[in-house]
Structure 1
Amino acid sequence: MIGMMQSLPRDRLAWTWLAAVYTALIAGTAIATLALLSRNVDLGQELWPDAQTGPQAVYAWRGGAILGYTSGSEVGHICALLAGLLAVRAVKARAWRAGLAVAVLAGTVLALVNLSLAWWKASPQLAQLAGPALYGTVDPGLRHHICVIVAIMLVFTSYLVFAAVGYFLGLKRRNKATLVLLAALLVAAPYSHFIAATILTPRVGL
């Protein structure tokens, strides 16, 4: 721990700049979570439009639940990647283990902000969507929908992965391959929770 603290920047202006940028990443994740929530719930249900049977109605609700409870991760994962890049500025390159720990911690905070806000705001809406028509089949408490919990865990883990990848990308020299990989990750990040929904939702056993 002492070595980690010694490796952090001592300049107050540098600390202020790093804190300001990271605070902006947290705020961006929180705003995206709230702003995109209703859209994501609707989008998740539209993955199975015109549900006719009981299982189809469950799939539609699960799709809304997965995208609702992970709302904002499409922006949050990008913020985690940028937080990893930011950790390179916070910790000396030779102390890479400390830098990785800082990056993963930053990603964890972003994940907790995203998922706790999404859970708080999405729960009432999803409970209302379950309604009498799905009573006994759809449990808003998720007791019968482990797939939703799995999707949340995958999204949480992705935050840590994106932060770690961002950190290691920041350590590398700025060559074309690194820039292409960074661009690909920034494009792919918004689709991670959507892919989780399409893969997990149809599985009745989950």
Structure 2
Amino acid sequence: MAAPRDFQAPVASFVVDVDAGDWEVVYKHGGRLWSGVQPHAPFDVVAWHGNLAPCKYALDRFVGVANTETDQADPTVYCVLTAKSKAAPGSSLIDFLAFQPRWSTTRNTFRPPYFHRNTAAELMGLAFGAWPGSGHALAPGGLSFEPPYMPHGESHARWVEATTRELGVERVGEGALAFMWHISAPVAFSDFGQPAFSFSTASSSVTTSAYFASKSNRFAL
């Protein structure tokens, strides 16, 4: 659960720039520092527009919810933010999920993600740490993509291990932070990004998504 009190927004304020000199603004992006010069102070926000304001949220404040006795809950219980769909009332357009260290206590249960397919696309990433999934490798900073209706899950070796070992109370995901977007609309490459994509190095799931994606209703990568 993501509590509203944990979303932090800055207080609107401004400063009077009495210094006639320039200001150098430095950003860090892609592991490098970038700078730009402007003739006024960057602290010049007087107020936000309507009820819109920038905010930040520390994912370690998210309260994870999970089954304690048996079976496993749908991953959407880890939803941090959701955007409603205007085209399909009652459905979400996109959900943002976070997976943090947590306790696993269920019995008579296949604990890893079972083999499945979704009506929504899954775009998953790893911020840091190690991801225990065996279906594909996921390094820190990396992304994986599963298009709608594409079956996916763990390897046979992982299934054997999970169905034969003795279950006990354990911590999972220690030292890692993973995240996922559930996207109900088809996902495809934009006209700008398509020429730079090499199909020779693409996974079958990404290639399939790019081929079958709708041209009229899509998210651009």
Q: TM-score band (shorter)?
A: under 0.3
- Which of these two proteins has the greater Rg computed from alpha carbons? 2
TM-score (norm: length of structure 2): 0.23
Q: When you count strand as a share of all residues, which structure comes out higher?
A: 2
TM-score (norm: length of structure 1): 0.24
